[in-house]
A and B are shown apart, each in its own frame.
Chain A
Amino acid sequence: QVQLVESGGGVVQPGRSLRLSCAASGFTFSSSGVHWVRQAPGKGLEWVAVISYDGSDKYYADSVKGRFTISRDTSKNTLYLQMNSLRAEDTAVYYCAKSGGNYALFYYGMDVWGQGTTVTVS
């Protein structure tokens, strides 16, 4: 069963840090680009970051650039999002999602999503 499971969310004070994890199973993680997407309460989806299948390429939304770092550990089939200097506007449900095609980043869409983990900055 293809699955992504996020963890690490919680309540954190402004200016502090938090690291989210996303455990992958049921597919070849080492061949997949993976994204973080967030959704503030009652709001729409906002793309956060993406990392290539081998970790060599990383791209970020302007709203998090310089504060968030995306990384992956292929040996653990796990994706991470290190979030520093957190702000109230970072409060959201954070989803990880895999790119639909092998080795793809931005095409084929995001075909598998986790259930999300909630981050509250307050």
Chain B
Amino acid sequence: QSALTQPASVSGSPGQSITISCTGTSSDVGGYKYVSWYQQHPGKAPKLMIYDVSNRPSGVSNRFSGSKSGNTASLTISGLQAEDEADYYCSSYTSSSTLVFGGGTKLTVL
């Protein structure tokens, strides 16, 4: 199972919005509504930010939103803040009854 494709890095200034893409195939992202997004700060465990494409867990800021079109899922962060600087990973359920992660995207807040 190949990793999902994410941009290696994105950047934005405080207050701006950014979008991170996550591209897979019809056997994973495109075939199911089970895409999640995780935030990971250096040396820390990942934190769930979005589940099942567009749902936010309790306690996660509404500045974070998710969507999907075809084989590509997206995470949008609006009103960028310094604390949003982290690595972001998408994951998807696959037709092989496994999970696959994206390669990760490093977000830099300028």
Chain A contact residues, CB within 8 Å of chain B: 35, 37, 44-47, 50, 59-62, 95, 97, 100, 106-111, 113-116
How far, in angstroms, from A110 to B103 measured CA to CA in the complex? 17
Given A107-B51, A109-B36, verify A46-B45 contact (CB < 8 Å).
Answer: no
Given A44-B89, A45-B46, verify A107-B101 contact (CB < 8 Å).
Answer: no
Can you report 6 A-B residue pairs in the complex whose CB atoms are below 8 A from each other? A45-B89, A47-B100, A60-B98, A97-B46, A106-B34, A106-B93
User: Could you say which residues of chain A place their CB within 8 Å of the CB of B3?
Assistant: 44
Chain B contact residues, CB within 8 Å of chain A: 1, 3, 33-34, 36, 38, 40, 45-48, 50-52, 57, 87, 89, 91, 93, 97-104
With beta carbons under 8 angstroms apart, the residue of A109, A114, A115 that contacts B52 is A109
With beta carbons under 8 angstroms apart, the residue of A45, A60, A115, A116 that contacts B101 is A45
Closest A residue to B50 by CB, please name it.
Answer: A109
Q: Are B99 and A50 in contact (CB under 8 A)?
A: yes
Closest B residue to A99 by CB, please name it.
Answer: B51
User: Could you say which residues of chain A place their CB within 8 Å of the CB of B104?
Assistant: 44-45
Q: Are A114 and B45 in contact (CB under 8 A)?
A: yes
Closest B residue to A95 by CB, please name it.
Answer: B45
User: Could you say which residues of chain B place their CB within 8 Å of the CB of A109?
Assistant: 36, 38, 48, 50-52, 57, 91
User: Could you say which residues of chain A place their CB within 8 Å of the CB of B89?
Assistant: 44-45
User: Could you say which residues of chain A place their CB within 8 Å of the CB of B36?
Assistant: 109-110
Give min CB distance, A102 to chain B, whole Å: 14
How far, in angstroms, from A104 to B103 measured CA to CA in the complex? 25
Q: Are A95 and B52 in contact (CB under 8 A)?
A: no
User: Could you say which residues of chain B place their CB within 8 Å of the CB of A95?
Assistant: 45-46
